[in-house]
Structure 1
Amino acid sequence: MAAPETNSSRAFRTLELKPRHDELIKPVELIDIVGASSLTLVARRLYNTLIGHAFGKEMGIEGQEWTIPLKELRGSHKSNERIEDSILALMKTVVTVRLKDGRTRRVQLLGGNDMGDPDRPHGTLTYSFDKKLVPLLRESTVFGKLELSVMKAFSTKYALALYEAISRRVRLEHVFSEVFTLEAFRELLGVPEGKLSTYGNLNQYAIKPALLEINAMASFELRILPIKKGRKVVAVRVGWSLKDVDGLKAAFAEVKRPRVGRKDRIKNKVEKVVP
C-alpha cells in the first residue's frame, strides 16, 4: 500500500486538532493497518471509545495513561464480561503499520492496563498505548473524521471498517476513487483468513450489507465496482462522493431512528455495487 496522502497542503499534527461534538478524529496509523481481522464489532467500538477518550497531545507521550469509567465502555450491557474480552483481544492483536519511508512496524493496539473488579457494576479502566505506536501517533498528519452516532449505528464490523477507511480519504482533493486488490480489500474490511473466500460470498455477506448501512447513514456515498481478469474478480474500485443537503438530512434522520426495523427501511435503497 502506498504511503498515505496528507489531508491538507499544510502539514499539521493530527493530535493538535479539536474534535467537534459527536466526532472522533482517528489517526490514519490506526486506520490503515494490517492484522486486525480477528477483532469483533464490539472490540472495534470499544477501541474507538478509548481513542476518543485519550485524544490530544498526550497521546504522543510515551508512558502516558488514561482512566475511563467502565460504564462508558459497557454500552447497553450490564456486565463487564464483554469489556474484558475486547480488552484482551486488543492486547493480543499485533498489527502492521506502513511508515512514511516505506518500512513497516508491528505494534500492539493496546498496551498495559488495570481494570477494576469485573464483578462490580462500577469501576474504571486505566490504559496505555504500545510504546512503539506512540511516536507514530505523535508525528501523524493524516486522519479520518468519524461521526460517533454513525459508528454506533452500524450492525457489522465490515461497515465500520469500510466507513473508517473512506472517512480518511473522502476529503482528499481531486481524489474520488481508489483501486484495491481483492486481498487488500479483504484486509481493509477485516475479513478473517479463510472466510468469504469467493468474491460472490464476499459481496453478499460483507460488501453489500456494509454499503447499505454506509449509504443510508454516512455523510458520503460509496460505489464498488469489481475488476476482472478474465472471469475472475482480482480487484475492486471504490468510489465516493459527499452527499448534498437532502442526502445529509436523510442520513441524519435514519441515524436517529430506532435500530429495530432499520434493515427493512434501507434495503430498498439503491445498492451502488455491481454484482
Structure 2
Amino acid sequence: MSEVRGVEGLRNHDRASLAPLFAELQAAVLIHDDTEKKRLTIGGLLDIAEVDYRDELSGDLVISWYFSRMFTRAAAASNHWAILDRQTVFHLGSKYSLLLFQHIASLAKLDQVAIKTFTVAELRSVLGVEPGKLERFSHFNSRAIQPAIAEINQLSRLTLTATPRKVGRTV
C-alpha cells in the first residue's frame, strides 16, 4: 500500500474506499466472440481481490488481486501490449501528453521504432483533438503537440521530437 500511496491521488485509500474500487473492477465484463472456433466467451476482469487489513491501525494494508482466466488468456494471446510507466501516467497533466505517451508506448513492442511519421489528421486523432479545435497547424503545434512532447520528455524516460514536413505551404 505504501507504493500505492506514493502515487498522487491514491494516498488516502483505506479498506472502506478500496472495496467499491475492486467491486467496480469485478463488475467489468469481457466478451470475446472467436468466429474461427465458433465460441463465445463471457467473463470478468478479476477473479478475486483481497485486502489484508491486519495492520490497519498503522495505515498499512496489503492488497492482492488475481486476474480471471479469461483475461489472462486474452493477455497471453494479445500482441497489443504496451508497458506504461505508472508514475509517468499519473503525473502527466494534459490529455494530449497522456494520449501521445500511451500511443508511443504502444509502439514499444515493434522492432526498434526510432521514427514514426504521422499525417496531421492521424496526429490529431492520436491526441484526441476535437473537430473544429486547433484547426490551424500553428495553433495545433504550439498548443497541443509541443507542450505534450515537452511534458513527456520531462516526466518519462522517452525523448520525443517532432519535425514538421512541408509540401509547399502545407504541413
Query: TM-score scaled to structure 1, two decimals?
Result: 0.37
Query: How do 1:120-159 residues align onto structure 2 when only pairs under 5 Å count?
Result: 139-159=77-97
Deviations 1:207-264 (A, max 9, x none): 111011100111111011111110111xxxxxxxxxxxxxxxxxxxxxxxxxxxxxxx
Point out where structure 2 has 5 or more consecutive residues left out of the alignment. Answer: 5-20, 33-40, 50-72
Verify the 8 A CA contact 1:158 1:207 in the aligned structure 2: yes
Deviations 1:160-200 (A, max 9, x none): 01001111224532431111111011001111111111111
Verify the 8 A CA contact 2:84 2:102 in the aligned structure 1: yes
- Please give the alpha-carbon distance, in whole angstroms, between the structure 1 residues aligned to 2:77 and 2:112: 25
- Please give the alpha-carbon distance, in whole angstroms, between the structure 1 residues aligned to 2:163 and 2:118: 11
- Please give the alpha-carbon distance, in whole angstroms, between the structure 2 residues aligned to 1:205 and 1:150: 21
Moved more, 210-219 or 139-148: 139-148
- Please give the alpha-carbon distance, in whole angstroms, between the structure 1 residues aligned to 2:134 and 2:83: 29
Aligned match for 1:217, one of 147, 155, 162: 155
- Please give the alpha-carbon distance, in whole angstroms, between the structure 2 residues aligned to 1:209 and 1:175: 22
2:42 matched to which residue of 1?
Answer: 63
Q: Which amino acid aligns with 2:138?
A: G
Aligned match for 2:164, one of 220, 223, 226: 226
The CA RMSD measured in Å over matched residues stands at 3.4
Q: CA deviation at 1:59?
A: 5.5
Verify the 8 A CA contact 1:170 1:176 in the aligned structure 2: no
Q: Return the structure number with greater relative CO, CA threshold 8 A, min gap 6.
A: 1
Point out where structure 1 has 5 or more consecutive residues left out of the alignment. Answer: 1-20, 23-48, 70-134, 234-275
Q: In structure 2, do the counterparts of structure 1 residues 59 and 211 end up closer, same or farther at CA, with 3 Å as the change threshold?
A: same
1:168 matched to which residue of 2?
Answer: 106
Q: CA deviation at 1:140?
A: 1.9
Q: CA deviation at 1:138?
A: 7.3
Query: Number of residues paired by the alignment?
Result: 117
Q: In structure 2, do the counterparts of structure 1 residues 198 and 174 end up closer, same or farther at CA, with 3 Å as the change threshold?
A: same
* Larger radius of gyration between Structure 1 and Structure 2: 2
Q: In structure 2, do the counterparts of structure 1 residues 136 and 193 end up closer, same or farther at CA, with 3 Å as the change threshold?
A: farther
Q: In structure 2, do the counterparts of structure 1 residues 167 and 161 end up closer, same or farther at CA, with 3 Å as the change threshold?
A: same
Q: CA deviation at 1:204?
A: 1.2
Deviations 1:95-118 (A, max 9, x none): xxxxxxxxxxxxxxxxxxxxxxxx
SS in 1 for 2:107: coil
SS in 2 for 1:175: coil
Which structure shows the bigger proportion of residues in strand conformation? 1
Q: CA deviation at 1:142?
A: 2.6
Deviations 1:63-105 (A, max 9, x none): 3235799xxxxxxxxxxxxxxxxxxxxxxxxxxxxxxxxxxxx
Verify the 8 A CA contact 1:150 1:217 in the aligned structure 2: yes
Verify the 8 A CA contact 1:59 1:137 in the aligned structure 2: no
Which structure shows the bigger proportion of residues in helix conformation? 2
Q: In structure 2, do the counterparts of structure 1 residues 175 and 157 end up closer, same or farther at CA, with 3 Å as the change threshold?
A: same
Q: Which amino acid aligns with 1:164?
A: Q
